[in-house]
Structure 1
Amino acid sequence: MSNILKSKAVAVITGAASGLGLAAARTFAQKGMVVCLVDASSTVKDVAAGLRKEFSHTEIHAMEVDVSNLQDVTALRDTVFKECGSVHVLMNNAGIGRECPAMPADGQSFDEYLAQWQAVIDVNVWGVVYMSMLFGPVMRSQKEQSVIINTGSKQGITCPPGNAGYNVSKAVVKTYTEQLAHELRNYPSSLCSAHLFIPGWAYTAMNGNGREGMTKPDGAWTAEQTVDYMIDKVFNHGDFYALCPDNETTTAIDHARIEWSLGDIIENRPALSRWHPEYEKQFAEFLQKKVPNH
């Protein structure tokens, strides 16, 4: 699928004003693609202006859009296909993080607590679903290859305790993208495929890193490294799961953690047993067996 990334092909990226989205936009612009930067922040216009200076021969658009708003996404779809004709890469990357435990804290306002949950689900889930369900039918009817790339998270797979709302939202993205991939694969004559982008620890503002004046931790990858890895997995190898390592967590460690998490069901262990004190030693032994001297 590497031939998708060519001059004048069209890429639409949500959450494109910073972080992974901006890194992807820059990569696609380097290849001479028409790049549509979509973000809820008005800064997307300044970001696009900067990219136009950096890539003077590349067509770059900026769209200030709330992907959790169905009317806004519908208007975005209509505008993009009217102005660009086709979409070859749709990268649904917009996402937010909020403190969303499974239950409100003692004394916490329920309305405030619920609003945090709703914000996360609206952007992280409905943003991906709206974009996919509105752009997807047009893309699957195109006569050229195209891809839909949805940004998930390892937190939607192994589900570490501490932020139930975010974990739930990314678990939904994983399941939805798997279903989307199956439907596209079985749609007659479709040349569109879906893929799940699973970043590792990336140095971006999304996870509290990558802010002005901060230094990248040794364990983190840059946004550019993470996007480059995803592009290789998706476009050069055609992989559905673009599971990214970082400088702290190898692919082998990721595989072991995922295997253990799924094993909770098969072995009838307690939920999230990896973080259960009675299973701490057992998990450590399992990880050592799977990844010696990790």
Structure 2
Amino acid sequence: MRALFDVNLFGVVNGISAFLPALRASAAPTPRLIVTGSKQGITNPPGNPCYNASKSAVKTLAEQLSWELRETAVRVHLLVPGWTYTGITGGAPGAYGAVQEAAKPSGAWTPAEVATYMDRRIDAGSFYIICPDNETSEADDKMRMAWAMGDITEDRQPLSRWRDEYKPAYAEYASKQAK
């Protein structure tokens, strides 16, 4: 657990500590600080609690940092990629670490697709940049996140989406959201 938090959370903390002073001193009109999170830090699926907790902490850190820097020129964004095929996730690196497109699964996005999407969302003024992929749409992501928050607001058991007693209710909810 400690090693995972050291990388996933404290790697972000150390990166912010290293780059934020330069961003604050930047002559750029709107310097950007992009923090990378994970959907698992938002929807919290069962099976990998330490990873989920570390990415949830990254989300909270980015939100708080955005608040703290709200009256400065520095803009903070939380980038939450979907399934992205890179050298880390099994992509075969090519020149300069680029993923060879032929090996990419059809459901995944390339890093270039994530960057293009991120740029569009930044231009639109978004803080939360929740990237879809070729298997999970924006609508599905939003539906899953809203259901997860509903565990709190509706006083359901945690992680209800995966519990047998809530599966019919989730299926009905998902069906209504799809309309």
| Larger strand fraction of residues | 1
1:282 aligns with 2:169: yes
Correspondence for 1:133 among 10, 17, 28 = 17
1:174 aligns with 2:63: no
Query: Which residue type is aligned with residue 23 of structure 2?
Result: M
RMSD of the TM alignment (CA)? 1.7
Residue in 2 that maps onto 1:194: 76
Q: How does 1:69-218 map to 2 (within 5 A)?
A: 117-144=1-28, 145-186=30-71, 190-207=72-89, 209-211=90-92, 215-218=103-106
Name the larger-Rg structure.
1
Give distance in 1, aligned partners of 2:18 and 2:92: 33
Correspondence for 2:113 among 220, 225, 231 = 225
| Larger helix fraction of residues | 2
Q: CA deviation at 1:132?
A: 1.0
Query: Which structure is higher in RCO with an 8 Å CA cutoff and minimum separation 6?
Result: 2
Residue in 1 that maps onto 2:158: 271
Q: CA deviation at 1:142?
A: 3.1
What TM-score results when the alignment is normalised by the length of structure 1?
Answer: 0.55
Q: CA deviation at 1:274?
A: 0.4
Give distance in 2, aligned partners of 1:174 and 1:265: 18
Spell out, residue by residue over 1:34-88, the C-alpha distance to the aligned partner (whole angstroms, 9 max, x if none).
xxxxxxxxxxxxxxxxxxxxxxxxxxxxxxxxxxxxxxxxxxxxxxxxxxxxxxx
**Number of equivalences:** 171
> Unaligned stretches of 5+ in structure 2?
94-99
> Unaligned stretches of 5+ in structure 1?
1-116
Identity %: 46
Q: CA deviation at 1:280?
A: 0.8
Query: Which residue type is aligned with residue 18 of structure 2?
Result: L
Q: CA deviation at 1:201?
A: 1.0
